[in-house]
Structure 1
Amino acid sequence: MEDLVLQAEMEGADIQAVPVAHVGIRTVTFLDPDGVIEELDLDDGLSRVSKTPHLVLNRVMAARRLGIGSLQAYDVLELFAFVRPARFCLPTASGLVAALSLDLAARTEEDMCMALRACAVRLLADLASETYRYRAGSGRVATAMARAGWLWGAPVMSALSGLRDDSREDGLAVWSALPDWEETVPPPPPGDDPVEPDDSKNRLAQLLGDNSEEREGQRRYAAAATHAFRPREFAEGPNLQLLEAGTGTGKTLGYIAPASLWAENNDAAVWIATYTKNLQRQLDQELSRLYPDPRIKQKRAVIRKGRENYACLLNIEETLRAVMMRAGMQGAALNDMILMGLVVRWARFSRDGDMIGGDFPSWLGGHFGLGRIAGLTDRRGECLYSACAHYRKCFIEKAVRRSRQADLVVANHALVMVQAATRMDDPDMPRRLVFDEGHHLFDAADSAFAVHLSGQEGADLRRWIRGKEQAGSTRARGLKSRMDELTADDPEARQHLDWLLESARSLPGEGWLSRVTGAVAATEFEKFLMFVRAQVMARSSERDTRGGHGLEASVADPVEGFIDAGARLSLKLDDIQKPMTALAVSLKRKLIEDGDMLDSGTRGRLESAIRSLTLRAEMVKLWVSMAASIGEKVPDEFVEWLEVDRIQGRERDIGVFRHFVDPTKPFADVVLSQCHGALITSATLRDHKDKNAEDSVSWYSADVRTGAQHLMIAPKRLSVSSPFDYQKQTKVLIVGDVNKNDPEQVAAAYRSLFLASGGGALGLFTAISRLRSTYAAIAPDLEHLGLPLFAQHVDPIDTATLVDMFRDEKDACLLGTDAVRDGVDVPGTSLRLIVFDRVPWPRPNLLHRARRAAFGGRHYDEMLTRLKLGQAYGRLVRRADDYGCFVMLDGQTPTRLLDAFPDGVEVQRLGLQEAVEIVRDFTDLKR
């Protein structure tokens, strides 16, 4: 380490002269240049760090803990993101140490201070090294960031100055350095050779290797999964296999085995869909077993997401240009320049340009705002396609083309559903699908097939049609600029386009929400929203309006004037839908009539424009119907309600919301019925209460939640039990003497239980407010005792990264809600206790009430609750040597819900004191 310090000092980076501050929950620990350690309370710590910039870890979190808006500091995370772009690092002191392969401890506050300095020294030394692999373009980026006021600018430029950059690459113009994608020959029609059960089991054995333990359940699973990879038996529906696999079965490799064989034998892709990004990452790791050579894996396996996940090079260019014009300004301009500098460094070395869950530093969203990150993607469908100057280098286009040539495409449920709905006649659509996390299909379909006639949706459509109508730094080109060239020689198409542009003025414009809430609506759409809001407010109680949640009201018996407002809006929307449809028809005619004279780029733009116009025209057509039918009976297959959407009491959207009562019906019609084979799998496909029934009845909950009941051809079904001994490995405790309505008692119970387990604890909550109050009450005590506490909705870090941090720290604790419950996969000693604050009953909103009536009343509520409890409990044991306790702090937990837990697991009802003793004794097995 002394050599690294000397080298950094020789290069002019006097990082040793910068004091270090580690900001905790209660105190700030300082390390001065002479090596003196001092601990101050937050107030005194704030006074010191405000006077001179310190070396810190995560300046945004540090500022939040200090109670200030921003902090000028040398953030080691920012330095890491610059020096090692597109490389993984947990945003913790131990994460930095591990990423840099330093032999240092990072447990105590003093350790962390020393580690932060050592990490900074190492990173600056890396920059100055002859073998530094990310040098290309770095000097230009560092110069721009330094001029904007980035504190790391001078040390970074000093470290870089000793070596010549032979590439002379302009690192800011990152698009110029990226390779072009190449058009490939369209693949032939897929074959239809079956995968035999024995072949699937043999491939599984290859994936596992010679020294692995053979699991009979996994072999049965791999053999059964081949039903989805045989020629379709009936034209009326796919070969559908429902496979429930208990935790520890090894289902991922169990379906990769037959899927990879089918893809290889038939020269076509199998799409594997997940619900959580966490599982996508796990799948990516598992596929390395199938393709150990990274170069082969790059070609044969593709992680595919929606367009809004990928960096848009044109958005990056135009945002960077606007930021550069303001370079040197303070505040937001400085932050924007730091962000854009780190973004272009990342884009230069990224594997695939995925900004949401890929190799992009996830903590940057908390640093600079998720909105800024999302603004660099194609989230609004404004792509220019072949008219874009960066089209040949586009990350999205590369991913699309790679997926056409791949064997396995790992996507998410939403993308598969959207693709199926918008490209039903496309011969390139995948015909073999695997849906992992199948218990989430109902929710994914609910989102995919819902229609929202809301202010936000209307404003987005106006922006898509007319572009950004006020000055600003972000790009938002309207249809005119995107289609000028395509309609230049077609007067009729130009007329339709002009009509559409003018009609779109009736949609909500910039600032619509303040006008609607202030009763000064500017358009018919906004006037309609005023009536929506008025009815919701009139029918909400005072208690509802004071709360932080959204507000709802029935569409029945509209307030005076609402029906007329809906009728007027429907006419305005019809004036948008008609030219939109007519423009799509004109472009379709051009594509057919002039097809032999069009280059491939123009053809692609036309096809994309037609698809986008048609899709949005269908949506507006539904809006017309919804607006015109205010006051009429809602069709039986739908549930419709009015809503004022709020977050922490602040309104953010207003509208009429329509959902399918059973969203698996359109899922079955649009997705399942169009493919030839589908496998739906999960550890919890069935409600545990069904499992002791007759076979056809025992799968009722699975059929209802996956859409299998809507297919003419019955699925094949198999359940493979978990190999774990849950009776021996777990304890389930229900604490009956804690008042769940008293925040202080709840927080005290969490503190006692977390201390009893020595950390390694996951706290689950059914309400964000209770999570935050518990965090505030217990965080100082846990920190004082050396137990790190992370919390969703508190820490400015995304959920997936919080889970990674929790997994990495053996004695950490994590608080979260549903997203944490579904995304946690923490085998080993890092998870030995789960505490649930209360029974996770479904939220009693209007949508749930309709579904409750349709699916069995109280039994439906209990089924959903058991599935949630089963999912949460399933996080506890991930491998054969795991042990742990599952604690419910709700003494009113009904006995009929306890079927959520595996057969034979004893459930004990007891007091908190006894629960603490059991947790302490039982979790010693894991420590």
Structure 2
Amino acid sequence: MIDPADLPALHASHGGIWLRDGGRTQGLAKGRAIARAAETPVLLLNAPLTGQRLGYPELNGLDLLELWAFLHPARFLVPTPKGLAAVLNLAVPASEGNIPGLLQQAAQVMLDRLGSTDWTEREGGWTAAQSLHRLRWTWAPLVAPRIAKPKEAERWLFSKLPEWEEAQPRPAPRTIALDEGQVLARLDALTGEGAEPRPGQRAYAAAASAAFLPRRHRDQPNMLLAEAGTGIGKTLGYLAPASLWAGQAQGTVWVSTYTKALQRQLDRESLRLFPDPAIAAKRVVVRKGRENYLCLLNLEDALQGGFTGRAAILAQLVARWAAFSKDGDMVGGDLPGWLPTLFRRNGSTALTDRRGECIYAGCPHYRKCFIERSSRASADADIVIANHALVMINAARGRETGQRPQRIIFDEGHHLFDAADSTFSVALSGQEAIELRRWIMGPEGGSRGRRRGLAARLSDLASYDEEGGQAIRAALDAAQALPADEWLKRVVAGEPFGALEALLTAVRATVYARAADTGEADAGYGMETELAEPDGALVEAAQEAALALDALIKPLVRLGRRLEAVIEDAPDWLDSAARARIEGAVASLGWRRDLIAAWLALLTRIGGPADPDYVDWLAVDRIEGREFDIGIHRHWLDPSRPLAEAVLKPAQGVIVTSATLKGGGEWSNAEGRSGAVHLPHGAERFEAASPFDYPGRAEVLIVTDIKRGDIAALSGAYGRLIEAAGGGTLGLFTAIRRLRGVHARIADRLARAGLPLYAQHVDPIDTGTLVDIFRDDPRASLLGTDALRDGVDVPGHSLRLVVMEGVPWSKPTVLHAARRLAGGGNAYDDRLIRARLAQAFGRLIRRAEDRGSFVILSAAMPSRLLSAFPPGTPIRRLTLDEAILAVNASARAQTLGETAALGHQGAESGMPPQETE
């Protein structure tokens, strides 16, 4: 067998390139490194990232991350040399030149595990190795000989996965009233004996318990708006009454988040509620949209030849993961976030149900389906951890009518408005319309895959019910008017086919005509214009498109009625599986009918009077000058109105909570953006300030000598500030172009100083993994956009400096302009900016021992916005040189304080410290 020590190992970073071969390590130029990697497989760690560093994106080799994904499919690994060394108990390399040697050692350790009797993920390994060998996986010649053939046939994925069982519907929760003393006792049990007292947390838990009282008003829930500053411990503060109510009332509490990071945190905290992991798995369930979960039917198709090349290898590794996964969640679950990026995301999205084509009980894997198992588990759970969008959809139009959320806790409540804005909006675009066509028509022309149209999914109904069969055929005929493959080419060429493509052509012409006056057409970015004063061509195209959609919705309505009639008739062949399949089809049809009805309402507005409740506009979406979609958009002017009607009013109790719920402003801001303003009796309020010493441990530095738009000066400022802090910097940008420009100028310089720099929209790594890498290395820094401003929880020395490129002004869109006009002009803008500043500042201090600096590179920072920061926080306007001295002093103080704090947290109680949010 091949000895890994005989294999060359390559490492490339912004600081240089090193190759170890024949027992000797040497530095190489890019050209030689590329040539060497091309002539023979070399050991690598994260081939796409290494290839990017070399300027050779097609680089492939013996990627140790792929070997790890085979060896330990559902285990966490930070995909860096340090992370690899940590999980394998190897010495962390002292310098980058030593990393190739580490790669050889790591390969040897991992390959040796394949022959070890304590390899816990052995089951299915031999079978997978044989399949991967046939697919010419680069690791297969080293892996396959090291795995002994099992004496008996292996229980592989589809035979190993457990089946879910039907259960009797859960009765309605009992009506109870929580005793405050019991709630506080539960909180004490959750925080642990000897935990530091938190008066704010106890007051928060007592206030939150009011949401679990019997509903006082017929037309609204018991609702609490709670702003709890960082460090209050609000997670356990609301879990105490929630878990107590769920246990006594035998009901379910939905805890909703906006970010996947908080979902993972809540899942970890569930072990405080139920220390036994087996019990916790039953009592606390994580729910996401079905597009997040592995579809077993799609996977089977991929394994049986639906995928080729590298995508087929990814499918085999995903199958390995699925056999050991906790819940089949491919996005934010226990599938390594870096795995799809190793394959340039080639095929990963096709393994989930993103088109809504699920055939439910018609699927041979229905009884093992991860999505169905999660849905059924949540029916009997005490706590369901979900996201804002899923809770809203489930409440408004979910097919699980018996599971509509009645007791809801919206954590990260400052995002509720944005989530509602997305959920209750509608877009009639080329991409949306062609997906509808594919859902109805199935595969056309030479397309491959398991995509199935209406006729294929409901073929038995067509033979049973002639009227239903006629409705299916009529829907297929009417769907011909929808955009087809290569619709964008025809629209751009001005040669549309069908009424919907003609509409998109008219939309594009209108947008370009109006953009010519503003210069947007030459900027390369997306363009939009208000849907006002449309010309005759657009009005006529809208009318023709409306007729085509009307011809489509009618047979879909008839088909839905016939499906409901079949359930009522209950023919002999309608067993429980068939009933479940038809019920799923009814729900899926209902969703599409609602979508088409919304499109029709949008089209009938064109040429007529505007509806004051909505904001409508036309858009051409582009990336770096390349068009990818065209459409008409409609958003609620105030999306908290449908939120209140569809989600809040039907519920029994609702808590909306966040560390920055008021956004640095007044309670009226929280009431307006949460929907409470639309409830007849409003909401109760609770506020607890953060216990952290912001005046003593944080500072806001406003740098006044960086010229706006000077990318060289901006880059120099970022580079010098990161060096002053010794890394540990989160850099926030409002434009991807400036982020890339800064990164390109400073990455090499920082790497030579031993300060790794990572960036969203630059590095071929998913955002969650970037944050994991940043958290794991105190000398690393991370550049990003809005997603990092709101979704990063990095306590300790790894984050000691936050730098914003400037004031986070709102992008001047049609939607923003309308809401600004309705919301008070400058006052509306100021509320949004304060909220963004408060969120960004909140990344800095995550626990009492933290210390850091918050830097804004803008002399134009208005004083009226400074109320976004905690009272007493020192705020100074100064030059870049002065800011660098201040950052360096703060970083040194944090380093000294970190050493003193190690080992102190949790020492008294023996329990892990509470999360800060």
1:564: Cα distance to partner? 0.8
SS at match of 2:489: helix
In structure 1, which of residues 380, 385, 398 is the aligned counterpart of residue 373 of structure 2? 398
Provide the C-alpha distance between the structure 1 equivalents of 2:177 and 2:263, rounded to a whole number of angstroms.
26
Provide the C-alpha distance between the structure 2 equivalents of 1:546 and 1:143, rounded to a whole number of angstroms.
53
Contiguous gaps of at least 5 residues in structure 1: 1-11, 325-332, 691-698
Contact 2:395/2:405 (<8 A) preserved: no
2:459 maps to 1:459: no
1:856: Cα distance to partner? 1.2
In structure 1, which of residues 528, 545, 551 is the aligned counterpart of residue 521 of structure 2? 545
Distance 1:529-1:451 versus aligned 2 partners, 3 A rule: same
1:198: Cα distance to partner? 1.9
Cross-structure match for 2:19: 30
SS at match of 1:633: coil
Cross-structure match for 2:7: 18
In structure 2, which of residues 769, 779, 785 is the aligned counterpart of residue 817 of structure 1? 785
2:38 maps to 1:50: yes
Cross-structure match for 1:165: 150
Cross-structure match for 1:64: 52
Contact 2:443/2:452 (<8 A) preserved: yes
Provide the C-alpha distance between the structure 1 equivalents of 2:392 and 2:346, rounded to a whole number of angstroms.
25
Distance 1:372-1:871 versus aligned 2 partners, 3 A rule: same
In the TM superposition, 1:128-139 aligns within 5 A as 128-139=115-126
1:598: Cα distance to partner? 3.4
Counterpart of 1:53, as a letter, is P
1:95: Cα distance to partner? 1.4
1:303: Cα distance to partner? 0.7
Contact 2:663/2:836 (<8 A) preserved: no
2:490 maps to 1:509: no
Cross-structure match for 1:327: none
Deviation string 1:690-711 (CA, Å, 9 cap, x unpaired) is 3xxxxxxxx1000011010001
Provide the C-alpha distance between the structure 2 equivalents of 1:687 and 1:271, rounded to a whole number of angstroms.
24
Cross-structure match for 2:826: 858
Cross-structure match for 1:563: 539
In structure 2, which of residues 391, 414, 432 is the aligned counterpart of residue 439 of structure 1? 414
Cross-structure match for 1:117: 104
Counterpart of 2:781, as a letter, is C
Provide the C-alpha distance between the structure 1 equivalents of 2:754 and 2:438, rounded to a whole number of angstroms.
50
Cross-structure match for 1:104: 91
Cross-structure match for 1:144: 131
1:364: Cα distance to partner? 2.1
Deviation string 1:85-128 (CA, Å, 9 cap, x unpaired) is 1111111111122222x131135213322222222111111111
Provide the C-alpha distance between the structure 2 equivalents of 1:259 and 1:598, rounded to a whole number of angstroms.
40
In structure 1, which of residues 577, 594, 610 is the aligned counterpart of residue 586 of structure 2? 610
Identical-pair percentage: 46
Provide the C-alpha distance between the structure 1 equivalents of 2:733 and 2:874, rounded to a whole number of angstroms.
23
In structure 1, which of residues 573, 587, 610 is the aligned counterpart of residue 563 of structure 2? 587
Cross-structure match for 1:253: 236
Contact 2:414/2:663 (<8 A) preserved: no
Counterpart of 1:393, as a letter, is K
1:424: Cα distance to partner? 8.6
Counterpart of 1:236, as a letter, is D
Q: Which moved more, 1:473-482 or 1:490-499?
A: 473-482
Contact 1:57/1:77 (<8 A) preserved: yes
Cross-structure match for 1:481: 456
Distance 1:640-1:124 versus aligned 2 partners, 3 A rule: same
Provide the C-alpha distance between the structure 1 equivalents of 2:151 and 2:394, rounded to a whole number of angstroms.
45
Cross-structure match for 2:746: 778
Cross-structure match for 2:193: 210
1:595: Cα distance to partner? 7.9
Provide the C-alpha distance between the structure 2 equivalents of 1:424 and 1:358, rounded to a whole number of angstroms.
24
1:648: Cα distance to partner? 2.3
CA-based RMSD of the aligned residues comes to: 1.5
2:630 maps to 1:654: yes
1:156: Cα distance to partner? 0.3
2:589 maps to 1:628: no
SS at match of 2:452: coil
Provide the C-alpha distance between the structure 2 equivalents of 1:214 and 1:436, rounded to a whole number of angstroms.
23
Contact 2:756/2:781 (<8 A) preserved: yes
Q: Which moved more, 1:193-202 or 1:868-877?
A: 193-202
Deviation string 1:50-69 (CA, Å, 9 cap, x unpaired) is 22221011111111221123
Cross-structure match for 1:846: 814
Counterpart of 1:419, as a letter, is N
Provide the C-alpha distance between the structure 2 equivalents of 1:76 and 1:425, rounded to a whole number of angstroms.
43
SS at match of 1:642: strand
Contact 1:137/1:168 (<8 A) preserved: no
Contact 1:25/1:783 (<8 A) preserved: yes
In structure 2, which of residues 377, 381, 386 is the aligned counterpart of residue 411 of structure 1? 386
Distance 1:578-1:534 versus aligned 2 partners, 3 A rule: same
Q: Which moved more, 1:838-847 or 1:646-655?
A: 646-655
Provide the C-alpha distance between the structure 2 equivalents of 1:614 and 1:621, rounded to a whole number of angstroms.
10
Cross-structure match for 1:531: 506
Deviation string 1:166-191 (CA, Å, 9 cap, x unpaired) is 442275xx223212111122212211
Provide the C-alpha distance between the structure 2 equivalents of 1:639 and 1:106, rounded to a whole number of angstroms.
56
In structure 2, which of residues 376, 398, 405 is the aligned counterpart of residue 430 of structure 1? 405
Contact 1:322/1:473 (<8 A) preserved: no
Distance 1:309-1:424 versus aligned 2 partners, 3 A rule: closer
Counterpart of 1:25, as a letter, is H
SS at match of 1:410: strand
Counterpart of 1:548, as a letter, is G
Counterpart of 1:395, as a letter, is F
Deviation string 1:475-514 (CA, Å, 9 cap, x unpaired) is 2111111111234311111111111111111111111111
SS at match of 2:28: strand
Deviation string 1:732-767 (CA, Å, 9 cap, x unpaired) is 000000112110000000000000000010100010
Provide the C-alpha distance between the structure 2 equivalents of 1:535 and 1:915, rounded to a whole number of angstroms.
49
Contact 1:137/1:167 (<8 A) preserved: no
Cross-structure match for 1:913: 881
In structure 1, which of residues 575, 578, 584 is the aligned counterpart of residue 554 of structure 2? 578
1:367: Cα distance to partner? 2.0
In structure 1, which of residues 268, 272, 279 is the aligned counterpart of residue 255 of structure 2? 272
2:871 maps to 1:903: yes
2:334 maps to 1:341: no
Q: Which moved more, 1:850-859 or 1:543-552?
A: 543-552
Contact 1:643/1:654 (<8 A) preserved: yes
Counterpart of 1:120, as a letter, is A
Provide the C-alpha distance between the structure 1 equivalents of 2:209 and 2:739, rounded to a whole number of angstroms.
44
Counterpart of 1:405, as a letter, is D
Provide the C-alpha distance between the structure 2 equivalents of 1:368 and 1:909, rounded to a whole number of angstroms.
47
In structure 1, which of residues 280, 285, 294 is the aligned counterpart of residue 268 of structure 2? 285
Q: TM-score, normalised by structure 1?
A: 0.95
Provide the C-alpha distance between the structure 1 equivalents of 2:423 and 2:42, rounded to a whole number of angstroms.
47
Contact 2:700/2:853 (<8 A) preserved: yes
Contact 1:800/1:823 (<8 A) preserved: no
2:142 maps to 1:155: yes
Counterpart of 2:18, as a letter, is T
